[in-house]
Amino acid sequence: MKKGILIIGAGGVSRVATVKCAMNIDTFEKITLASRTLRKCEMIQKEIKEAQNVDIDVACVDADDVPALIKLIKKVNPKQVLNVALPYQDLTIMDACTACGVDYIDTANYEHPNEAKFEYKEQWAKDAQFKEANVNALLGSGFDPGVTGVFCAYAAKHYFDEIHTIDIMDCNDGDHGYAFATNFNPEINLREVSANGRYWQRNEKGEGEWIETKPLEVKMDWDYPQVGVKPSYLLYHEELESLSKNIKGIQRIRFFMTFGDSYIQHMNCLQNVGMLGIEPVMHQGQEIIPIEFLATLLPDPASLGPRTVGKTNIGCVFEGIKDGVKKKIYIYNVCDHQECYKETGGQAVSFTTGVPAMIGAKLLYNGTWSAKGVYNIEEFDPDPFMEEMMNQGLPWNIQEMD
């Protein structure tokens, strides 16, 4: 009989997700943490034992290697696999899950390792594969994507007959004290921010289309509750792809994120000198990929927790129709970096991704959510997830707007 959860990946998000799974051990029964770097798993294992007196197992695995993944899954025999490794590894882990007949959960969609492009296309294509294996795949159970999709489903269920526009607003007002660092994997972060922006809207013919912008070309000043007014820049973000498909009546959806002047200046400089490149170059007779080398030089995002202060505010602004009347609301969450660190050992960016990962896994594990095949998070009933957020350290607020 299958039992427990296998968590793959041992970075900052994994630390939070594993700690929170241990706090919910009555649900998960047994926890195994696996990564290419066993030392990182053992560190998290030790911290959980000391803080909670909960025992977890650890293992070493290469998440690019499907046979190795299958071997580990068969050995552990879990009910589900939580993928908090790199987005490059989504497809291999999904294939291993269907081969072993276990549920799959992730926090970010597949990204091509040799191309600055991320999309759900190849994961959605595995729907028949998961249906045939009679297992679930829950895509995007982080914050954005993840909670933002839950907010959309909740607004559609309780506040609107039709949602016409959605602006996803992501603010990290944290200060880690470094001249330059990224709050999650540097490769993923810098590829995302330096790419052209895109948003989705319906044209005059009622057809959906993508509008492309230059990197950080579109800027909006937004007043984030408990943080204040911050410059926010339009980016392309993966949840736009699924939400534009799944939210009834949508006319436009955009994503904005805050960046300070110093971050933008550093990023532009790095890009101008080629350090964000993803193609191999020769250096003193050795082939290197510039952005991977840069990631080695930058502070490990998992190390930022003890030194990061300030707050995050992430939410969605909705405009639409209810009972024939125009309506506008703002649903958001605020987290404090140091409070997150005290609870889980991770700063708020890791916390706001790792906690929703655990919640999505919990709702699949206990059978609250179940739909065989491949689904995005907004396709499930949002109410139990919203309730869990209140109980797991991610309280949300709803603001009625003019």
pLDDT attached to residue 52: 98
**Secondary structure class of 220 (helix, strand, coil):** strand
| ∠ CA 261-266-267, rounded to 5° | 100
Peptide bond into 145 cis (omega under 30): yes
CA atoms within 13 A on the CB side of 381: 11
299 to 202, 303, 304: CA distances (angstroms)? 41, 7, 8
Look at residues 19, 67, 24 and name the one whose alpha carbon lies nearest to residue 41: 19
Give the residue among 250, 232, 233 at the shortest CA–CA distance from 241: 250
Q: Are 239 and 144 in contact (CB under 8 A)?
A: yes
DSSP 69-102: HHHHHHHH--SEEEE-S-GGGHHHHHHHHHHHT-
| CA pair distance 392, 21, nearest whole angstrom | 11
Give the whole-angstrom CA distance, residue 164 versus residue 319.
6
Rounded Cα–Cα distance for residues 376 and 150 (Å)? 10
Q: Are 234 and 139 in contact (CB under 8 A)?
A: no
Q: What pLDDT is recorded for position 116?
A: 63
Burial (CB count <10 Å: 0-12, 13-18, 19+), residue 308: buried
Residue type, 272: N
Name the burial class of residue 236, with classes exposed (0-12), middle (13-18) and buried (19+) by CB atoms within 10 angstroms of its CB: buried
Q: Could you tell me the mean pLDDT of each successive run of 10 residues in the chain, 402 residues long? A: 96 96 98 97 98 98 98 98 94 98 95 76 97 98 97 98 98 89 76 88 94 95 98 95 95 95 85 86 89 87 86 98 97 97 95 98 97 97 98 98 86
- CA 402 vs CA 229, 326, 329, 354, 399: distances in Å: 18, 9, 8, 33, 10
Query: 73 and 46 in contact (C-beta within 8 Å)?
Result: no
Pairing of strands 57-60, 31-35: parallel
Residue 169 to residue 151: CA distance in whole angstroms? 12
- Give the contacts of 161 (CB within 8 A, at least 6 positions apart): 249, 320, 321, 322, 323
Whether 214 and 196 have beta carbons less than 8 Å apart is answered as yes
8 Å CB contact between 401 and 317:
yes
| Angle, CA 382 vertex, CA 256 and CA 241 arms, to 5° | 40
Cα(275)–Cα(293) distance, rounded to whole angstroms? 8
Coil, helix or strand for 198?
Answer: strand
Both tokens assigned to 101: 């007949």
